[in-house]
Amino acid sequence: MVTLKLVDTDSKDDARPAPADAQAADQPRPDRVPDGINHERDPYAMTALGEVMDHASRAMIARMTGGLSPASLAEAWADWAIHLAASPGKQSQLWIKAWRKALRLQRHAVNCALHGGADEPCIEPLRQDRRFRDPAWQQPPFNLMYQSFLLTQQWWHNATTGVRGVTDQHERAVEFASRQFLDMLSPSNFLLTNPELIAQTRNEGGQNLVRGAQNFREDWERLIGGKRPPGTEDFRVGERVAATPGKVVYRNRLMELIQYEPAGDTVRPEPVLIVPAWIMKYYILDLSPQNSMVKYLTGQGYTVFMISWKNPGPEDRDLGMADYLELGPMRALDAVCAITGSDTTHSVGYCLGGTLLSIAAAAMAREDDERLASVTFFAAQSDFTEAGELMLFINESQISFLEDMMWDQGFLDANQMAGAFQILRSNDLVWSQVLNAYLKGERREMNDLMAWNADSTRMPYRMHSEYLRKLFLDNELAMGKYDVGGRPVSLSDIRAPVFAVGTETDHVAPWRSAYKVHTLTQTDVTFVLTKGGHNAGVVSEPGHPRRHYRVHSTINGDRYWSPEEWFRRADFREGSWWPEWAAWLDGHSGERVAPPPMGRPDAGYDVLGDAPGTYVLEA
């Protein structure tokens, strides 16, 4: 419920003699509004009421569209359609391509008929497309179905790209939307057009569909009841995941600081402070014991501290980026230095936490604060000009639409964020799940990473609005315009050595975007590109099968390599990148000393409870 308070801005105390022309303008005229209406306050009241009505109306629409702005999508489609209509040459090319593809498909069909279905496909799926790998797809009529689908998909890619005059963002948006729509219509998604499903249904007597219906009912009931997916209950926080021993040694309204117990009799003198993203629960870096980065670091002889962010509610709607900076890494750094007695700290930022850490490091460098021994970024961005397909959702129309939705509820709900990330990988995260769970009747076995992914968080209204506008839309941090404490900060001030990690198939922070740390900072940079995506590439512990990475160190002043040149020339190595990072940290650390105490009551840092604390348990 919104309460509107009208304020009379023309107080008698502020009354001043009106200029002569203003007095003349205030003389009665025939077209004046009738007496009885306050000419000063009513325009403000009408404006305020109108804004409330607009917010409420757009918030209602946003709930129905999942937070996507219809105006933004319509603008992109109109830009494409108008320019295509004015491009007869492009239209002619598309007609010719359509005719050629039809002939190729016809020739393929004839050859299959003459040779009993044996013929080379006229188009191959992309390397990452696993939908049509089963040999059953090579038998008629299914071979013609999937070949026709892939040819259609290729034609629409040609139709939505390369139209002269269309803005880059609109082109990407239209191509993305057409691809999503076609993926929904893929023959692999339907029982009667999927030979694998037909064979399974025949062999099982339809029991797969019975199980699928039961799975759908269970998922629907859980969704309506606000419960997490089945199997997540086996991964209780503090028991099976987030179970590395530690203590909460500091708490404020925005975060808890966890100090982990040492694994040996000696530790490096420089502690490690990890700043995770608040778009996720911190324990992705402390999953099961075998793949816990926290446990690995303590085993390497480091005193590890972790920020555990509070899951914000409506009462936190006015928390901004400045609050997250001050109440997060800055307060945590004060506590870490006071507890350990160390003058310097190894800092680590993951995803959005890495962006916040880069702001903190730049602000500290500006003030000659040298408490950072090193800075490590995991899949983090500071320049958002190439932020991947997430940029499809970032423009003035879309951001204002999200702001209206958050204005109504005070935060961006976790499900609303999850929907956007699922759309980016709809084949893997949506349609394959529908196929497996509801048509094949097969549940994918829950693991710790999937359970963590279902334990999502919210984003405060003000913070998320500032994040999208200042960083994504205006790119203020990379431009040297981001304001901290009344003055802008520059990443070029950072002198602490940097270790940055990008992942090969990251849809959230593309590695080429993370690579821009080379051009933004003036310090030594070691960059690692590892196999995997935004999460699985980071949680890549030693012993993880089929892992590799590339690495190269650049000394400040070295010649710049483009991302493509770096990819060709960097050292290729098999296995996990974690030991590479541990060796790098060792090279920037002192000789081992006795472990510090857990907390420090005399400095105001009492032990407040056992890890994982209370904030991570809040739904």
Amino acid at 426: S
pLDDT of 21 above 60 = no
- Residue 66 pLDDT class (50, 70, 90 cuts): low
Tokens 């190439």 sit at which residue?
Answer: 386
Q: What percent of the chain has pLDDT over 70?
A: 86
112 is an active site residue: no
CA proximity to 437, closest of 283, 222, 209: 209
Strand partners, 345: 372
Residue 392: both structure tokens together: 């499809």
Tens digits of residue pLDDT in 455-489: 888 889 899 899 989 999 999 999 999 999 999 99
| Residue 500 · residue 514 · CB < 8 Å | yes
Comparing 331-340, 383-392, 517-526, 530-539, the range with the smallest average pLDDT is: 383-392
- Rounded to whole angstroms, the Cα distance separating 63 from 493 reads 43
- Rounded to whole angstroms, the Cα distance separating 169 from 393 reads 9
| Residue 256 · residue 248 · CB < 8 Å | yes
| Residue 291 · residue 447 · CB < 8 Å | no
- Residue 3 pLDDT class (50, 70, 90 cuts): very low
Indicate the SS3 state at residue 554: strand
Q: What is the pLDDT of residue 272?
A: 98
Please pick, among 112, 122, 337, 351, the residue that the annotation labels catalytic.
351
For Cα atoms 61, 67, 71, give the angle at the middle one, nearest 5 degrees.
65
Q: Any idea which fold 246-388+496-617 has?
A: Rossmann fold (3.40.50)
Pinpoint the residues of the chain covered by CATH 3.40.50.1820.
Answer: 246-388+496-617
Strand partners, 487: 484
Residue 179: both structure tokens together: 């691809």
Which of residues 402 and 177 earns the better pLDDT score?
A: 177
pTM to 2 decimal places: 0.84
Tens digits of residue pLDDT in 479-533: 999 999 999 999 999 999 999 999 999 988 999 999 999 999 999 999 999 999 9
Q: Does residue 141 have a cis bond before it (omega within 30 degrees)?
A: yes
